[in-house]
Amino acid sequence: MTLSRRSFLKTATATMGALIAPGALLRARPARAVGTDPVLVALYLRGGADALSLVVPHAEAIYYTARPTIQVPAGHELDLDGFFGFHPALAPLLPWFQAGRLAVLHACGSPDGTRSHFDAQDYMEFAAPGDKTVTVGWLNRFLSSAGMTSPLSAVTIENAPAKALVGPAGSLAIPALARFDFYGTYTTERRNALRSIFGSTSRTNLGPMGVNAMDVLDLVGTIDTSTPVAYPQSKLALALKDLAALIKADVGVRVAAVNHTSWDHHAYHTTNFPVMAGELATSLDAFATDLGSDLDRTVVLVMSEFGRRIDENGAIGCDHGHGSVMMALGGSVAGGSVLLRNGVWPGLAPAQRFDGIDLAATTDFRNVFAELLDRHMGLSSLASVFPNFSVDTRNYPGLFA
């Protein structure tokens, strides 16, 4: 363990050594074509986003009887294919769907039936349903498999790395680019001292934090975060704005994680859900617009730990459920359709429900992850990314033509 961490530090040091001077990497970058490396963004809706409100099965009569109060009233949805429709607050995403850039995957989720937020999130971020012994994130295992160990390969726009990114391959956690600067007097002398101190410390519990921070300070400080695109004023939008700046600057980011929190709508659903959905849609729309041609090499995967109960509860809300919805935007995703396992909607009738109460999860989320790593990120050997799961291309949901 210590050895691999140290060798990582050495590699990171060697790779990043040239970056101490402002903008060194940008100037010193070899004559590789700029901006061709694929990027994967994991956008996590935390709290169990209500799949049946995000993407409404409006052709199912049971949807309306199960949800007398919190339904999207018939005709108010934005029809996608005659069976499903977006929540009206997702309107900004409709043009992306219609242009074939956005694909929707419905009735997906975990083979494990837990309704605990925290277990379900962990199982998904570690891509190991039901297995609490796995503690390395699926995207971190991808980084190791692909040999990407630069601290800038992976970034979480948050104060701590998302669990999907946690592990030996390392990753950067920056909550706000504008605040990532070294304050005070004698900054050069103090930074050199800290670099030397962190480079030789035997305290392993701090990880590569100090070395990474000193290495990338200048580089991050030179990134132009201005954009002509008007982002909404939300925490999610600010995070995506920073991420777009990082991707456009082409400083080596390959995988990134962004969180959108507060989707746990046990109550006040009709008040709060449209606000959350609107925040998601407007932020994502701005991000995709801002990326411009960089969207061709970037896929955003939107996911949540589970969907919610089919029947509404007694508090204008719904409790924790199972089957969920995912969305993939960008890259060469063959969008414009709602993808279902074998083209079959599991249905909302009592006999069709998981445990008799919830939407079934027929598409295993690991097949979505696998198809993205294979077809988008170009990783040929997926075995080490998915423990105890055999990847079979025939089970891919069909995100790519």
Partner 1 sequence: MRLRQLVPCLAVLVAVLAAPGCEYGNLKKYQDHVLNRIGYGPDPWSRTRIQQLGINGYIDEQLDPSALDDTALEDEIASLYPVTTMNFATSRTTFNEYTGNPDTGPYVPLRDGTRAKLLRSVKSKKQLEQVLVDFWFNHFNVDGNVEEARWGFLTMERQAIRPYVFGKFKTMLRKVAENPGMSDYLDNALNFKDGFVYLNLTRGINENYAREVLELHTVGVDGGYTQADIREVARAFTGWTMPTTFQFYPDGFLFLSQGHDRNAKSIFGGALQLAANRGQQDGIDVINFLAGLPQTAERISRKLCQRFISETAPPENVVQAAKQVYLDTDGDLREVMRTILYSGEFRDYNHAGSKVKRPLHYVASLARAVGVRDDATFAESMDGPLQRMGEGLYRAGPPTGYPESSRFWSGEGGYVQRTTLAWQAAHGEAGFAGNFLVYGITPTEIVDDLRKQLLRNGIESTTRQALIDLATSLPSAARIQEVAATMLASPDFLVH
Q: How far is CA 9 from CA 80, 195, 256, in A?
A: 49, 12, 21
| Distance from C-alpha of 382 to C-alpha of 366, rounded to nearest angstrom | 11
* Minimum distance from residue 350 beta carbon to partner 1 (Å): 16
Q: Which is nearer to partner 1, 259 or 337 (CB)?
A: 259
Q: Which is nearer to partner 1, 32 or 203 (CB)?
A: 203
Rg (CA), the chain: 22
* Minimum distance from residue 275 beta carbon to partner 1 (Å): 13
* Minimum distance from residue 312 beta carbon to partner 1 (Å): 9
* Minimum distance from residue 380 beta carbon to partner 1 (Å): 30
Q: Which is nearer to partner 1, 266 or 337 (CB)?
A: 266
Q: Which is nearer to partner 1, 57 or 151 (CB)?
A: 151
Sheet holding 85-86, edge to edge: 55-56, 85-86, 78-79
Sign of CA dihedral 383, 162, 365, 120: positive
Q: Which residues bind partner 1 (CB under 8 A)?
A: 46-47, 114-119, 151, 156, 158-161, 166, 172-176, 179-186, 189-190, 192-194, 196-198, 200-203, 205-207, 209-210, 212-213, 216-217, 261-262, 264, 266-267, 313-317, 319-320, 355
Local structure of 248: helix, strand or coil: helix
Q: How far is CA 43 from CA 114, 131, 236, 287, 303, in A?
A: 21, 23, 10, 12, 6
Of residues 142, 99, 106, the one with CA closest to residue 296: 99
Across 219-323, where does the E strand assignment appear? 255-260, 298-304
* Minimum distance from residue 120 beta carbon to partner 1 (Å): 10
Q: Which is nearer to partner 1, 264 or 296 (CB)?
A: 264
Residue 301 amino acid letter:
L
* Minimum distance from residue 273 beta carbon to partner 1 (Å): 14
The answer to whether 396 touches 373, Cβ cutoff 8 Å, is: no
Q: Which is nearer to partner 1, 120 or 368 (CB)?
A: 120
Question: Within 131-174, where are the H helices?
Answer: 138-146
The answer to whether 379 touches 142, Cβ cutoff 8 Å, is: yes
The dihedrals phi and psi of 327, each to the nearest 5 degrees, come to -135, 140
Report the interhelical angle of 269-291 vs 235-249 (nearest 10°): 20
Q: Which is nearer to partner 1, 134 or 339 (CB)?
A: 134
Report the interhelical angle of 209-222 vs 2-16 (nearest 10°): 20
* Minimum distance from residue 201 beta carbon to partner 1 (Å): 4
* Minimum distance from residue 102 beta carbon to partner 1 (Å): 27
Q: Which is nearer to partner 1, 206 or 383 (CB)?
A: 206
Q: Name the residue with tokens 């039936």.
A: 113
